[in-house]
């Protein structure tokens, strides 16, 4: 049930990401088409320059802050994982003498001995520990994937903005392309950190 739910969540996330990417590409294509087929006053070079400069600085700052935040979250998950490893070791240490005793009784009497209630309880606890360890491993992978995508997007925004800073006069005539590009970058800078912070800051405990 939990595995099916996780697969469904991944499918929903990929669908949303793909839809938003397609929407962004469509908006940029419309902006380029509008600039190619319409005559309008160019944007002031200072507007282009300061807009790109602000976007580049904001993206770089957010990438550094959220990378640190993600590393903190990764440390938290690693601590929980190690706690489950220690709990698993303790359960196995408690199970070993009980199993040895039961096997010895079977060899001595020749009659199969059923597990004791203590063994069954410890086996259930061991199963729960294994599941929680897998849960934290999945949390690691999801967090790393999210941070990787976010950092790649931020680096792409910084790179494009820095390149644009070198040619503000060439970008001035592309009014709608610059406007739409800045709006999309602003949305990434606004929504991206919220998603990462929500995902990294929430209390992840297996249910």
Q: Is residue 194 part of a domain?
A: yes
Give, as one character, the DSSP assignment of residue 173: T
What distance lies between CA 131 and its chain's CA centroid? 21
What is the band of 200 on the pLDDT scale with cuts at 50, 70, 90?
A: low
What pLDDT shows up at residue 85?
87
Q: Do residues 55 and 186 lie in contact, with contact meaning Cβ atoms separated by under 8 Å?
A: yes
pLDDT digits (tens, 9 = 90+) for 122-172: 888 888 888 888 888 888 888 888 888 888 888 888 888 888 888 888 888
Question: How far is it, in rounded angstroms, from Cα 143 to Cα 151?
Answer: 12
Tokens coding 139:
């949390």
Q: Is residue 11 part of a domain?
A: no
Give the residue, 203 or 146, on which the prediction is more confident.
146
Number of domains in the chain: 1
Q: Is residue 100 part of a domain?
A: yes
Average pLDDT over residues 162-187: 86
pTM of the predicted model as reported, rounded to 2 decimal places: 0.68
pLDDT digits (tens, 9 = 90+) for 26-55: 776 777 777 677 677 788 888 888 888 998
Q: Is residue 21 part of a domain?
A: no
Structural domain for 160, as ranges: 42-201
Q: Is residue 180 part of a domain?
A: yes
């Amino acid at each position: 049930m939990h595995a099916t739910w996780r697969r469904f969540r991944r499918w929903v996330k990929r669908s949303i990401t793909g839809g938003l990417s397609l929407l962004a590409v469509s908006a940029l294509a419309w902006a380029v088409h509008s600039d190619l087929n319409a005559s309008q006053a160019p944007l002031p070079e200072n507007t282009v320059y300061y807009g790109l400069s602000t976007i580049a600085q904001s993206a770089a700052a957010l990438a550094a802050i959220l990378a640190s935040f993600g590393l903190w979250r990764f440390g938290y998950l690693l601590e929980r994982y190690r706690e489950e490893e220690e709990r698993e070791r303790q359960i196995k240490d408690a199970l070993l003498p009980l199993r040895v005793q039961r096997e010895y009784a079977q060899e001595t009497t020749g009659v199969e001995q059923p597990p004791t209630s203590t063994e069954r309880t410890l086996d259930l606890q061991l199963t729960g520990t294994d599941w929680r360890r897998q849960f934290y491993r999945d949390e690691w992978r999801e967090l790393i994937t999210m941070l990787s995508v976010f950092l790649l997007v931020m680096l792409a925004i910084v790179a494009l903005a820095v390149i644009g800073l070198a040619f503000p006069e060439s970008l001035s005539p592309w009014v709608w392309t610059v406007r739409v590009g800045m709006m999309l970058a602003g949305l990434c800078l606004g929504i991206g950190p919220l998603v990462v912070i929500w995902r990294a800051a929430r209390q992840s405990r297996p249910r």
